[in-house]
Structure 1
Amino acid sequence: MDVFFVLSGYLITQVLLANPDLPTFYWRRFKRLVPPFALMLAAYLWAAPKVEPNHPHWRDALAAFFHLSDYTLPLYQFPDYLRHTWSLAIEEQFYLLWPLILLRKKPGFTVLIAAWAALTVWKFQWGWSAAYTRFDTHCTGLVLGCALAMLPRFNLPTWPFLLGLLGCVLVFKFNDASSHETGVIVVELFTACILLGNAPKWLSARSLVYLGKLSYGIYLWHFALAYWMHKQGMRWDFVLAASTLFGVGMAALSYHTLEALFRSNRPALDAAARHGEGDHVAGFQPQLERERS
């Protein structure tokens, strides 16, 4: 998720700089994000009460739909089966605020890096369980990505930083508070170095591009099932396999039916590509496909 935040801040800033049309930007975000999200919530509200009838599913769905999960989760411990929507809430709040700041205040690289440093310090004033899901304490990756979009490309090899990201997965433990605090910073910096370097060509493979198109749907659909199976005490490998297959299947179904109705031409990204963005992020096609839609 922290890799995604940096990439998202970078790519969205590039798109906005290439085409500073706010109504178009907001409409495209709405078309891409809201229909599949609404479909998932409708399916959840149909199925979840049958599985666990005593849980306040409507309360959780409303918190998720109005993008409040990033604060209701640490403050009030809900939503439960939809707790993964904290990150979508952060993204939506970023989409709402950042275009207004960028196009009216036009902050440069120095200001944004100072903001990233200040927000990182602010994050450390809270325990990780209270800070991990909140916009004000977990938007650092987005801010860093916005700052990177102001810089030219550097001729850096990226494989050491890709290995570094892999090392983070092996070194930092999920239930360790220091991992969440220090690990987030390390992951953000490694991702920044990858963005500013020479993107590996294999990341633009057709299969990964298609996976990128489905990534938002996979994110939406897999979690509730995985979380329920985990609470039932099922083996982690079975949970992983079942939730992945379910997530990919439902994401593909949504992408080729409902989402296909909302897709249209993409002039904003085409303009960005003509300004050089397409070459720079060619190796990040999975993430690019998610943002460009």
Structure 2
Amino acid sequence: MPYNPALDGVRALSILAVVLFHCEVPGARGGFIGLDVFFVLSGYLITSLLTAEYRHGGIEIGRFYARRALRLYPTLLLMVAVYVGLAPILWPADDRWLSAVLAALYVYDYALAFRELAYTIGHTWSLGVEEKFYLLWPLVLPLFLRTRRPVGWLVSAFLAVTAWRYFVAMNWTWQQAYFRFDTRMSGILLGAIAALAHFKVSKHALAMACMALLVLIALPSLPTSDQVQAVTLRITSAELSAFVLICFAAEHGRAAFLASRPMAYIGRLSYGIYLWHFPLALLLRSTQPLWITLSATLAFSFTMAAICLHLVDTPLKRWRQKAWPFRPAPCHRRPSG
């Protein structure tokens, strides 16, 4: 796939909203919806990648899994190792080994949905949602692509998952509706729809989507607001708005603001920022003034993310590209569906 800096700009906006939310900045108390943008973006990117492979010889599932593991696991394991080492000093009440295992196995999403657990590295629940998508989607996507109307089937799946989340929220707890893969994959499916449908977005629709996201970010956060409304209508509104924004960014890869060098670079750092910012923000926000919490969290997470990007991710990416170069096989081209 050709590099699209505007999509990294979308990542930057999302991670900044999440960091401001976790630092409890006034005016960003709904910034958790930045994760909904991430989910839609992941669905778009991975579906675009896998669809291209499918149409040029088929999806090499083992190779896809290996690429994902090399891209995501090293930084995660480094963060978990640092947490295990510092937990006896900074978070002595945590069951650090249980938390480390849940994070490393990508099952914090279901753990938080059904149990009261230490939340110091509980933010890895969202990685659990995405990892399950990475495991299942190479197996499931070809089934959609072989149908006559793959987008129609994906829309039906999106509506079914959304209805399921609403049912869970109204009958059980907001945690079960908010954290679980089976209730949160609606945004990922919406991203897959964007990848296959290639919608063109008008400036009017883009303005409405951006305004909706700004309003959602400013609204009070979980769990202090209406819990059912927060995990139903607000998540759906965020997903649909993110869908419009990502369709625009996909079409306008050089959009002035989103594709600017600072925004694109922050987007490239976003995975590392997400992993490193939360434990420190959680530690500081209950005892320190806002300006200390925010400045320290930003400085620490940006620094650690840059170190991981340039000293871990980039060398591994170069090695991966040499070890597994993409070789399309047009003679085995499959129908586009």
- Which residue number in structure 2 is paired with residue 286 of structure 1? none
Matched residues, percent identical?
34
TM-score after normalising by structure 1: 0.85
The range that moved more, 150-159 or 203-212, is: 150-159
Residue 216 (structure 2) aligned to one of 156, 168, 173 = 168
Return the letter of the residue paired with 2:47: T
Gaps of 5+ in 1: 272-293
The range that moved more, 159-168 or 245-254, is: 159-168
The range that moved more, 75-84 or 57-66, is: 75-84
Give the C-alpha shift of residue 258 in structure 1: 2.1
Q: Structure 1 43/193 Cα, relative in aligned 2: closer, same or farther at 3 Å?
A: same
Q: Structure 1 270/256 Cα, relative in aligned 2: closer, same or farther at 3 Å?
A: farther
Q: How many residues in Structure 1 have an aligned counterpart in Structure 2?
A: 270
The answer to whether the 8 A contact 2:272-2:306 is kept is yes
Q: For 1:8 and 1:259, locate their aligned partners in 2 and report how far apart those are by CA, in whole Å.
A: 18
Give the C-alpha shift of residue 180 in structure 1: 2.9
Q: For 2:298 and 2:127, locate their aligned partners in 1 and report how far apart those are by CA, in whole Å.
A: 19
The answer to whether the 8 A contact 2:106-2:125 is kept is yes
Q: For 1:63 and 1:70, locate their aligned partners in 2 and report how far apart those are by CA, in whole Å.
A: 9
The answer to whether the 8 A contact 2:112-2:175 is kept is no
The answer to whether the 8 A contact 2:177-2:231 is kept is no
Give the C-alpha shift of residue 173 in structure 1: 3.6
- Which residue number in structure 2 is paired with residue 277 of structure 1? none
- In the alignment, structure 1 residue 53 sits paired with structure 2 residue 92: yes
- In the alignment, structure 1 residue 188 sits paired with structure 2 residue 188: no
Gaps of 5+ in 2: 1-34, 54-58, 329-337
Q: For 1:50 and 1:32, locate their aligned partners in 2 and report how far apart those are by CA, in whole Å.
A: 30
Return the letter of the residue paired with 1:90: V
- Which residue number in structure 1 is paired with residue 10 of structure 2? none
Q: For 2:142 and 2:86, locate their aligned partners in 1 and report how far apart those are by CA, in whole Å.
A: 43
Q: Structure 1 196/185 Cα, relative in aligned 2: closer, same or farther at 3 Å?
A: same
Q: For 1:32 and 1:234, locate their aligned partners in 2 and report how far apart those are by CA, in whole Å.
A: 34
Q: For 2:201 and 2:162, locate their aligned partners in 1 and report how far apart those are by CA, in whole Å.
A: 28
- Which residue number in structure 1 is paired with residue 230 of structure 2? 179
Cα deviation digits, residues 119-161 of structure 1 (max 9, x gap): 1111011232221010011111001111221113315222332
Residue 64 (structure 2) aligned to one of 4, 25, 31 = 25
- In the alignment, structure 1 residue 146 sits paired with structure 2 residue 201: no
SS in 2 for 1:84: helix
Cα deviation digits, residues 236-258 of structure 1 (max 9, x gap): 34222211211111111111212
Give the 5 Å matches for 1:72-83: 72-83=111-122
Q: For 1:182 and 1:162, locate their aligned partners in 2 and report how far apart those are by CA, in whole Å.
A: 17
Give the 5 Å matches for 1:212-291: 212-230=267-285, 232-264=286-318, 265=321
Return the letter of the residue paired with 1:164: A
Q: For 1:91 and 1:268, locate their aligned partners in 2 and report how far apart those are by CA, in whole Å.
A: 24
Give the C-alpha shift of residue 55 in structure 1: 2.4
- Which residue number in structure 1 is paired with residue 7 of structure 2? none
Cα deviation digits, residues 218-248 of structure 1 (max 9, x gap): 0001111111223x43233422221121111
Q: For 1:33 and 1:61, locate their aligned partners in 2 and report how far apart those are by CA, in whole Å.
A: 16
- Which residue number in structure 1 is paired with residue 21 of structure 2? none
The range that moved more, 121-130 or 139-148, is: 121-130
Q: For 1:220 and 1:247, locate their aligned partners in 2 and report how far apart those are by CA, in whole Å.
A: 8
Give the 5 Å matches for 1:35-114: 35-106=74-145, 108-114=150-156
- Which residue number in structure 2 is paired with residue 285 of structure 1? none
Give the C-alpha shift of residue 184 in structure 1: 0.6
Q: For 2:309 and 2:316, locate their aligned partners in 1 and report how far apart those are by CA, in whole Å.
A: 10
Q: For 2:326 and 2:289, locate their aligned partners in 1 and report how far apart those are by CA, in whole Å.
A: 43
Q: For 1:169 and 1:233, locate their aligned partners in 2 and report how far apart those are by CA, in whole Å.
A: 24
Give the C-alpha shift of residue 24 in structure 1: 2.5
The answer to whether the 8 A contact 1:5-1:142 is kept is yes
Runs of 4+ with deviation above 6 angstroms: 266-271
Q: For 2:105 and 2:49, locate their aligned partners in 1 and report how far apart those are by CA, in whole Å.
A: 25
Give the C-alpha shift of residue 172 in structure 1: 5.2
Q: For 2:326 and 2:183, locate their aligned partners in 1 and report how far apart those are by CA, in whole Å.
A: 29
Give the 5 Å matches for 1:109-148: 109-127=151-169, 128-148=174-194
Q: For 2:60 and 2:316, locate their aligned partners in 1 and report how far apart those are by CA, in whole Å.
A: 19
Q: For 2:260 and 2:230, locate their aligned partners in 1 and report how far apart those are by CA, in whole Å.
A: 32
